[in-house]
Amino acid sequence: MKKKALILGIESSCDETAASILEENNEGVPNLLSNIVSSQEEIHKKFGGVVPELAARSHINKIDLIVDKALKKSGKKLSDIDAIAVTGGPGLIVCLSVGLNFAKTLAMTLKKPLIVVNHLEGHALSPKLVTDLKFPYLLLLISGGHSQYLAVKNLGKYKRLGTTIDDALGEAFDKTAKLIGIKFPGGPLLEKFAEKGDPEKFQLPKPIINKGGCNLSFAGLKTAVLKISKKIKTDQDKHDLAASFQKTIEEILYKKTKVAFNEFRKLYKNKNNTFVVAGGVAANKKVRKVLIELSLKENFDPIFPPLDLCGDNAAMIAMVGLEKLKIKKYDSFDHPAKPRWPLDSEAIFLKGAGVKL
């Protein structure tokens, strides 16, 4: 009987040290055996954001323990592993280097293939861990560093339909949270904080809402929040501002996703219309709700990763590793860490965000 493929995934691009063991069963279905994520929230909390040097030091201290934990939970031994998949970028270079060097040493020692994975491709393929996801599909990637609409044609084949021209959505959540006085990590706490507020209280701008196709912009929104935050006095005002921000984001995503649906339909006529939303902000329940409602109205099949697979994890890195193992797409031991690594190859030829408004 054919041996089942077994992958070790490693992730250390920012402030999560993560390792995962993923197996492909005899039917070709991925079976997640373990998914260990160690967050550095406590370390960075007092600085109100991620401090790269502290993050890297923590990865160095923990990475072998986390890999060990993932192996123990899976019931497998290191010698059972067929390949090691590791995040190579984008991310903080000092953090990426820790995971990458660890994976290279392990792969060299065990004489197993090394697969260097684009973190964003990990997010893009994360729903494959739990559902049968067919190419092509429309992807909205909303994380701390990226906000993009992409047509996912195949493994490694992406066409950018729209991108943010300034801040990423997760960044906008985090900066807004800071202005309102909500603690780190801003995004998830702002969502909870907003539940006690009146979303109609403050009118916030929706930059480039009627132009620029499905490109996005959040910087003006943050400036408006800054002005209001200087005037408000009560705690209730703060809840109202958070709720107004949350509602404005929902409205922007609703409108821009509608535009992205049309662009995707033009590209792929008569194909199954699948819409995947991935990245940290995909965990926002209200964002999920409005995008599911819109998808059903527009005949798109909405797919979100489960909540625990929206944020950074190594299972999604192992998932890409499994796909690459099937086509024997391995990397050399001198593969560098890439702090910038766009998914779409055209992006490197574009000046700035390459967006015409």
**Sole window of 81-89, 102-110, 179-187, 336-344 interacting with ligand KG4 (rule: CB under 6 A):** 179-187
Which position among 191, 240, 323, 331 is part of the footprint of ligand KG4 (CB under 6 A)? 191
- Rounded Cα distance between 341 and 336, Å, is 11
Instruction: Return the number of other C-beta atoms located less than 10 Å from residue 8's C-beta.
Output: 31
Of the candidates 81, 104, 128, 101, the one whose C-alpha atom is nearest the C-alpha of residue 316 is 128
- Rounded Cα distance between 16 and 190, Å, is 20
What residue 252 binds from ligand KG4, Zn ion, none (CB within 5 to 8 A, per partner kind)?
none
Residue 215 CB, nearest approach to ligand KG4 (Å): 19
Which position among 283, 303, 315, 322 is part of the footprint of ligand KG4 (CB under 6 A)? 283
- Rounded Cα distance between 29 and 129, Å, is 9
Q: Which residues bind Zn ion (CB under 5 A)?
A: 143, 312
Q: Which is nearer to ligand KG4, 191 or 240 (CB)?
A: 191
What residue 197 binds from ligand KG4, Zn ion, none (CB within 5 to 8 A, per partner kind)?
none
According to the binding rule CB under 6 A, does residue 284 interact with ligand KG4?
Answer: yes
Residue 328 CB, nearest approach to ligand KG4 (Å): 28
What residues are paired with 149 via a beta bridge? 140, 162
What residue 88 binds from Zn ion, ligand KG4, none (CB within 5 to 8 A, per partner kind)?
none
- Residues 260-279, mask of contacts with ligand KG4 (x by CB under 6 A): -------------------x
Contacts of 92 (CB under 8 A, 6+ apart): 13, 14, 50, 52, 55, 56, 339
- Rounded Cα distance between 10 and 35, Å, is 10
**Sole window of 2-10, 71-79, 170-178, 205-213 interacting with ligand KG4 (rule: CB under 6 A):** 170-178
According to the binding rule CB under 6 A, does residue 145 interact with ligand KG4?
Answer: yes
Of the candidates 180, 178, 194, the one whose C-alpha atom is nearest the C-alpha of residue 47 is 178
What residue 176 binds from Zn ion, ligand KG4, none (CB within 5 to 8 A, per partner kind)?
none
Transcribe 288-354 into DSSP letters: HHHHHHHHHHTT-EEE---GGGTSS-SHHHHHHHHHHHHTT--B-TTPPP-S---SSGGGGGSSTT-
8 A C-beta contact, residue 322 and residue 101: no
Residue 185 CB, nearest approach to ligand KG4 (Å): 5
Number of H helices, E strands in the chain: 10, 10
According to the binding rule CB under 6 A, does residue 185 interact with ligand KG4?
Answer: yes
**Sole window of 73-81, 95-103, 154-162, 171-179 interacting with ligand KG4 (rule: CB under 6 A):** 171-179
User: Which residues contribute to the site for ligand KG4 (CB under 6 A)?
Assistant: 14, 143-145, 170-171, 173-174, 185-188, 191, 279-281, 283-284, 311-312
